[in-house]
Amino acid sequence: MGNLRSVAQAVAHVAREASSAGNEIAVVVTSDPAMVAAAERVVLPGQGAMPDCMRELRDSGLEAAVREAAATKPLLGVCIGMQMLLDRSEEGHAAGGTPGLGLIGGEVVRFRLDGRLQDDGSRFKVPQMGWNQVVQARRHPLWRDIPDRAWFYFVHSYYARPSDERHSAGETDYGGRFTSALARDNIFATQFHPEKSAAHGLALYRNFLHWNP
């Protein structure tokens, strides 16, 4: 349920840099819980709809492995991979929306921008699709060599609203300020797509490969 090829290519690109410097890093795309358990660090992407992503995570047998990774090793969530980390999402037909993994307290809510206009007079569109700036809400090793207010690529209709503002590592303005990056202990997650965000996105993946929380 993610753009696995794009993510893998971006991570492999920075892994080759590390390997040329003498640090051998193998990048593996897998749905095998045993391989996730054996990995040194884990990237959890997600794309599409939250209910589908949570269902596939459960049905594939990966949920337990992801929970273990979140407790024991560096974990990077991307897009819906970030949203799944929270308690629940409004997205879904069931009453109360869709339960998440509950690894970071908070909820995922839909943009409510009907009738709102941007500064140039154009309508706010949902989903937000395109480049937007990220304000670094707190210092974090994954922001290394990435300037504050750097531009990243977004595609989403829902956004994270953590219950503890200390877990907000990045914020973006789209009809109002929202959390676009989360951080807690060994977990970091982004609403934007680093793999589609050129040099700054590669820098974030590079930092993740060398992050030892």
Measured between alpha carbons, how far is 79 from 49 in angstroms, rounded to an integer?
11
79 is catalytic: yes
List the one residue out of 168, 209, 165, 212 whose CA is nearest residue 191: 168
Q: Is 90 a catalytic residue?
A: no
Give burial (CB, 10 Å; 0-12/13-18/19+) of 96. exposed
If one counts every other C-beta atom within 10 angstroms of the C-beta of residue 127, the result is 12
Element (H, E) at 205: helix 198-210
Of 91, 156, 167, 193, the catalytic one is 193
Q: Is 195 a catalytic residue?
A: yes
Q: Which amino acid is at 43?
A: V
**Tokens representing residue 208 in the block:** 């993740």
Identified catalytic residue from 53, 91, 167, 195:
195
Out of 79, 91, 156, 200, pick the active-site residue.
79
Question: Catalytic residues, which ones?
Answer: 79, 193, 195
